[in-house]
Amino acid sequence: MLSILSALFGPHRAVSIYAFLKTWGLPIAGGVGVITVAAALLLLNDSGEHEHHSFMTVPVLSASPINGDLKNGVIASVRLPDGSETAITSTEAPISQTVTTSACVEKRVYVESGEPRYRFKLPRYCEAS
C-alpha cells in the first residue's frame, strides 16, 4: 500500500497518509459505515402507520404465562378466522388475565405494506362489535 501511495502522492506525503490511515482509518471507516446504515434505515423505512381493521374473538390453542405469572404477561398461540395460526404476546396484566380458551384480538393492517398484525385487547371490545 505504501508503494501505491508513493506513486500517487510522493514518498514524503505517502508516509504521512499511510500513518494516518493506520491509526485513524478503521475508526473513520466504521463511523462512516454506521452513519450510512442509519441514514439508509431512516430514509428507506416505511412510516409504520397502521389502520384498525377489526376486533374478533379467536380460540386459544395454548397459552403460557411469562415467567410463570400472568401479571408479567402471556404468550399465546391462537387460530385466526382464516384458519391460520399465529403467536401473540401481551405484557399488560389486565389483558393477559383475560386470555383463556378464547381471546379478543384486534387486527391492524399496515398502510404501505398491507401486512396484518394482531394484538390482544380486553373482551369488551369484541362484545361491542
Question: Going residue by residue through the chain (129 aa), what tens digit of pLDDT does each one get?
Answer: 888 988 999 988 989 989 998 999 989 999 999 999 999 988 887 677 889 999 999 999 999 999 988 889 999 999 999 999 999 999 999 999 999 999 999 999 988 888 899 999 999 999 875
The pLDDT score that the predictor gives to residue 66 is 92
Contacts of 95 (CB under 8 A, 6+ apart): 120, 121, 122
Kindly report whether the global pTM for this prediction surpasses the value 0.75: no
Buried b (16+ CB within 10 A) or exposed e, 9-19: eeeeebeebbe
User: Which residues are 78's β-sheet partners?
Assistant: 60, 86
